[in-house]
């Protein structure tokens, strides 16, 4: 299957700082990537859909000015948590769907980034 790499795997930062998380599709082009947040013992919550070359589409209730998403190329999307606070501590996961013309729609996930805000 396709490979999606996410970096960093974990990050600890002070309250008020910004953190950038990268998501790369290593062996395919991803016109669309997705960003999720997952709190302990809860399911994935879709935050936004990242489209290459255009603005991200945010889900209801997700602050677009706080969670900045950039999808500058077909293989890279970034999520920046701006002015992070302890309540932003969570497991952030990206995913991508490989478009082959006969897309099946399955998602390939990055390894996830565990953010802890002190």
Taking a C-beta distance cutoff of 8 angstroms, is the pair 24, 78 a contact?
A: no
Residues 61-90 contacting other proteins, CB under 8 A? none
CA distance 35 to 60: 14
Taking a C-beta distance cutoff of 8 angstroms, is the pair 6, 94 a contact?
A: yes
With CB under 8 A as the contact rule, the residue among 13, 62, 76, 107 that binds other proteins is 107
* Residue with Cβ nearer other proteins (110 or 117): 110
| Residue 106 contacts other proteins per CB under 8 A | yes
Taking a C-beta distance cutoff of 8 angstroms, is the pair 89, 81 a contact?
A: no
- Least separation in angstroms between residue 33's CB and other proteins is 9
| Residue 60 contacts other proteins per CB under 8 A | no
| Residue 32 contacts other proteins per CB under 8 A | yes
CA distance 91 to 106: 21
Segment (H or E) for 93: strand 90-96
| Residue 42 contacts other proteins per CB under 8 A | yes
Interacting residues toward other proteins by CB under 8 A: 1, 6, 32, 34, 42-44, 46, 49, 93, 95-97, 103-112
């Amino acid at each position: 299957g396709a490979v999606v790499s996410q970096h960093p795997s974990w990050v600890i930062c002070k309250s008020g700082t910004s953190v950038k998380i990268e998501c790369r599709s290593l062996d395919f082009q991803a016109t669309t990537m997705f960003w999720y947040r997952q709190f302990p013992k809860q399911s994935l919550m879709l935050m936004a859909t990242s489209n290459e070359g255009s603005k991200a589409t945010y889900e209801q209730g997700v602050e677009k000015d706080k969670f900045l998403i950039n999808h500058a190329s077909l293989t890279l999307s970034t999520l920046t948590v701006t002015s992070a606070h302890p309540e932003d501590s969570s497991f952030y996961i990206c995913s991508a769907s490989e478009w082959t013309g006969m897309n099946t729609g399955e998602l390939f996930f990055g390894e996830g980034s565990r953010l802890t805000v002190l």
